[in-house]
Chains A and B, each alone.
Chain A
Amino acid sequence: MNGAVTVNGREHELEPGETVERLLERLDLGVRYALVERNGDPVERAAYGSVELAPGDTVVVARPVAGG
Chain B
Amino acid sequence: MEGHGSLWRRLRGGHEAATAEPDLGHASEGREVQDTLTIAGREFSSRLITGTGKYETFELMRDAVVASGCEMVTVAVRRIDLDAGDEANILDFLPEDVLLLPNTAGCETAEEAVRVARLARAGGLPDWVKLEVIPDPRHLLPDPVETLRAAEILVADGFTVLPYMLPDPVLARRLAEAGCATVMPLAAPIGTGRGLKLRDSIRIMVEEAEVPVIVDAGLGAPSHAAEAMELGADAVLVNTAIARADDPVTMARAFRLAVEAGRAGHLAGVMDEQATAQPSSPVGGLVTQS
Contact = CB atoms under 8 A, between A and B. Distances in A.
Interface of A: 7-8, 10, 21, 27-37, 40, 42-45, 48-49, 60-68
Given A66-B55, A66-B58, 20 more contacts: A28-B85, A30-B80, A30-B89, A32-B1, A35-B122, A36-B119, A36-B122, A37-B115, A43-B122, A45-B11, A45-B124, A61-B80, A62-B79, A64-B102, A65-B75, A65-B76, A66-B76, A68-B53, A68-B74, A68-B105
Most chain B beta-carbon contacts within 10 A, residue among A8, A21, A42:
A42
Nearest to A30: B86
Categorize the interface residue count of chain B.
35 or more
Contacts of A28: 85-86
Contacts of B58: 66
A32 B79 contact: no
B54 to A, nearest CB: 7
A7 B61 CA distance: 30
Interface of B: 1, 4, 7, 11, 51-55, 58, 61, 74-80, 82, 85-87, 89-91, 100, 102-103, 105, 115, 118-125, 190, 217, 237, 239-240
B119 A37 contact: yes
B284 to A, nearest CB: 56
Contacts of B105: 67-68
Contacts of B4: 32
A64 B82 contact: no
Contacts of A8: 79-80, 82
